[in-house]
Structure 1
């Protein structure tokens, strides 16, 4: 049976909700929905979807690294955005990061996230090669 390795970002919400920032099972890493928040849950870069996107992918990269993976291992991204007007700029940031990696990608516009100041949330899956 493959070993389960949990990655925590250290936020109190992980314990409250009973989840991990990421989990590695064998050669697969699943990164939980990630938002642009600080360790106390305060939203960063309010009103700026591009900056929130950059912050989120930085947090995702850190979680992947802690699971002995990297952005180059990403095979799937899922982006949930709250404003359709931000989609082109969000996907440009995605393209800047993943242009050579080319994971399967989904971008969905949703009504709202847990905090209305959160403009997007991103999940990724990676396969360590």
Structure 2
């Protein structure tokens, strides 16, 4: 029988919306869309794509750390971007910095808007903890 291991930051949005930041099922960790928020759940850097992307990657690392996983174990990601064409180059550069030579499956979607006013990026991903760290 598979047991579930859910992870939450304890921020209001989790209880308001009814979700976990991540949930582990067997060897896989499914991670909800990460955004630019601080430890208290306050949204940071409205409208600033580069700053939001950097903070979103930092939040991704917090989840990986919680599960003892690494970026090299991320097997897929989905990026949601407002103003896709304007932010494409920054997205590519940020992705290469974050992953180095690791190449997870990746889908990038342009969207009209995201949940928070001024939010321009969100990233969800899947981790396979059976892979070498």
TM-score normalised per structure 1: 0.92
How well do the aligned residues superpose, as a CA RMSD in angstroms?
A: 1.4
- 1:14 is aligned to 14
TM-superposition CA deviations, 1:64-110 (whole Å, max 9, x none): 22122221110001100001201210121011111311000111110
- 1:88 is aligned to 89
TM-score normalised per structure 2: 0.90
Q: How many residues align?
A: 129
1:37 CA drift (Å): 1.9
1:1-129 matched pairs, under 5 angstroms: 1-84=1-84, 85-128=86-129, 129=131
For structure 2, which runs of at least 5 residues remain unmatched after alignment?
A: none
**CA–CA distance in 2 between the matches of 1:99 and 1:39?**
26
1:41 CA drift (Å): 4.3
**CA–CA distance in 1 between the matches of 2:87 and 2:66?**
30
